[in-house]
């Protein structure tokens, strides 16, 4: 029996992709693995938040092999540098699963699984703050070297890690992400379309983007294409679901909206409740994902599951995930994206064909299969 510790600090922080990945994988391994003992490590101290976390993960207090461990610390540096290493040694942990940056000191016999969602900071360093880039360049290489296994969500990301860091191919394991459980039909909001429109100030007809609003997401390019599209379809709006106060918000988005006079065309609904998001997808005419760089692209699967046609940038990772269920446009070609969106809006047959392909495509990705692979990796 192994004693496995998983760093779940990001759970409950209302982050996007990486929180979904750690929640779904953690819940899945707890559900499947009755052989090993699990220690879920968090710095959360609020009792109600811990109760919610325990319930969401399906943790049962009477289960002697599953533990929610609260490790308090004055700040994240103390937690990562002192509190965590001490606990891992004291608790005699065999395998530790975290993401990106490891503590400077860890027990020598501890096996480390490091989850790397993407290395966009290598591909697009100019889009990262100098401070963040400094620490990433300083800490990521040593973290990868100390890791016994590296998990990536796509073959593309695996190739990128090898390209930028020269990591041995055998050390990197591709474990795909999948559709979040929030997108199961029983969790979808029961509000009517009109009630949802009123709640989030949604227009009648809109294109949709969901994700962070960082520079690498390429939203200004999408706004340029929207301005072109409006010349033919003036009723079309764009809904951007993302945090405008989030880390690395792209200030060019607001500048572009003002420059193109799109103030009454672009809608920012703010924080969207998990049960409402699937319906906001359903009500969209097309989901657009113009990102310059991704490690996976869960929003593509979310849109497909809700019967929405998907248009994405012609990036290797998005092609890997979207397959033939997505239409792709070349980066930087504004007219190309505008024409693609126009054709989808006016040619119903093409739209329906994409929707049907999307329903088949999402079946290729399963948290159950990914959880099984992760448990096997822990065992190895």
* Separation between Cα atoms, residue 72 and residue 251, nearest integer Å: 35
Burial class (CB in 10 A: 0-12, 13-18, 19+), 372: middle
Asked if 149 and 115 touch (Cβ cutoff 8 Å), the reply is no
Q: Which domains does the chain show, CATH number per domain?
A: 3-178+366-379 (3.40.50.2000), 186-364 (3.40.50.2000)
Query: Apex CA 208: angle with CA 203 and CA 213, to 5°?
Result: 115
Residues in the chain: 380
Asked if 12 and 47 touch (Cβ cutoff 8 Å), the reply is no
304 Cβ contact list (under 8 Å, min separation 6): 310, 325, 355, 358, 359, 361, 362
Question: What pLDDT does residue 186 have?
Answer: 59
pLDDT tens, per residue, the chain with 380 residues: 999 999 999 998 765 678 889 999 999 999 999 999 999 999 998 899 999 999 999 998 888 999 999 998 888 889 999 999 999 999 999 999 999 999 999 999 999 999 999 999 999 998 888 999 999 999 999 999 999 999 999 999 999 999 999 999 999 999 999 998 777 665 678 889 999 999 999 999 999 999 999 999 999 999 999 999 999 999 999 999 998 887 778 999 999 999 999 999 999 998 888 889 999 999 999 999 999 999 999 999 999 999 999 999 999 999 999 999 999 999 889 999 999 999 998 877 789 999 999 999 999 999 999 999 999 999 99
* Separation between Cα atoms, residue 151 and residue 154, nearest integer Å: 9
Question: What pLDDT does residue 15 have?
Answer: 59
Question: What pLDDT does residue 256 have?
Answer: 97
* Separation between Cα atoms, residue 102 and residue 308, nearest integer Å: 39
Kindly tell me the sign of the dihedral angle through the C-alpha atoms of 299, 369, 120, 112.
positive
β-pairing, 66-70 with 95-99? Answer: unpaired
Asked if 103 and 87 touch (Cβ cutoff 8 Å), the reply is no
Question: What pLDDT does residue 270 have?
Answer: 87
Kindly tell me the sign of the dihedral angle through the C-alpha atoms of 334, 337, 342, 345.
negative
* Separation between Cα atoms, residue 376 and residue 113, nearest integer Å: 12
Asked if 58 and 38 touch (Cβ cutoff 8 Å), the reply is no
pTM of the model: 0.92
CA nearest to 135, candidates 101, 105, 163: 101
How confident is the model over 145-185, as pLDDT tens digits? Answer: 999 999 999 999 999 999 999 999 999 999 999 998 777 66
């Amino acid at each position: 029996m192994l004693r496995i510790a998983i760093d779940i600090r990001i759970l409950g922080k209302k982050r996007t992709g990486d929180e979904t990945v750690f929640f779904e994988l953690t819940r899945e391994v707890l559900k499947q693995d009755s052989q090993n003992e699990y220690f879920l490590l968090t710095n959360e101290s609020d009792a109600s938040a811990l109760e919610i976390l325990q319930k969401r993960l399906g943790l049962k207090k009477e289960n002697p092999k599953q533990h929610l461990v609260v490790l308090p610390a004055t700040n994240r540096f103390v937690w990562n540098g002192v509190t965590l290493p001490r606990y891992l040694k004291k608790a005699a942990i065999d395998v530790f699963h975290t993401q990106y940056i490891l503590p400077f000191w860890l027990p020598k016999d501890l096996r480390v699984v490091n989850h790397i969602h993407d290395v966009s900071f290598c591909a697009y360093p100019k889009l990262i703050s100098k401070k963040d880039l400094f620490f990433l360049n300083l800490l990521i290489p040593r973290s990868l070297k100390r890791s016994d296994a590296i998990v990536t969500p796509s073959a593309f990301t695996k190739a990128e890690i090898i390209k930028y860091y020269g990591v041995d191919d055998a050390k990197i394991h591709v474990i795909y992400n999948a559709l979040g459980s929030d997108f199961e039909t029983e969790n979808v909001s029961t509000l009517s379309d009109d009630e949802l429109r009123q709640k989030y100030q949604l227009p009648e007809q809109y294109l949709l983007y969901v994700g962070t609003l960082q520079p690498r997401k390429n939203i200004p390019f999408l706004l340029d294409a929207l301005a072109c599209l409006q010349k033919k379809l003036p009723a079309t709006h764009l809904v951007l679901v993302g945090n405008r106060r989030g880390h690395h918000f792209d200030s060019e988005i607001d500048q572009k909206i003002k420059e193109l006079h799109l103030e009454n065309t672009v809608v920012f609904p703010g924080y969207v409740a998990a049960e409402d998001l699937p319906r906001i997808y359903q009500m969209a005419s097309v989901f657009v994902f113009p990102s310059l760089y991704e490690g996976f692209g869960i929003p593509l699967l979310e849109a497909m599951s809700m019967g929405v046609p998907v248009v994405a940038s012609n990036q290797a990772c998005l092609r890997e995930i979207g397959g033939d269920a997505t239409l792709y446009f070349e980066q930087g070609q504004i007219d190309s994206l505008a024409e693609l969106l126009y054709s989808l809006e006016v040619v119903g047959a093409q739209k329906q064909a994409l929707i049907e392909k999307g329903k088949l495509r999402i079946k290729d990705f399963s948290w159950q299969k990914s959880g099984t692979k992760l448990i096997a990796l822990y065992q190895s």
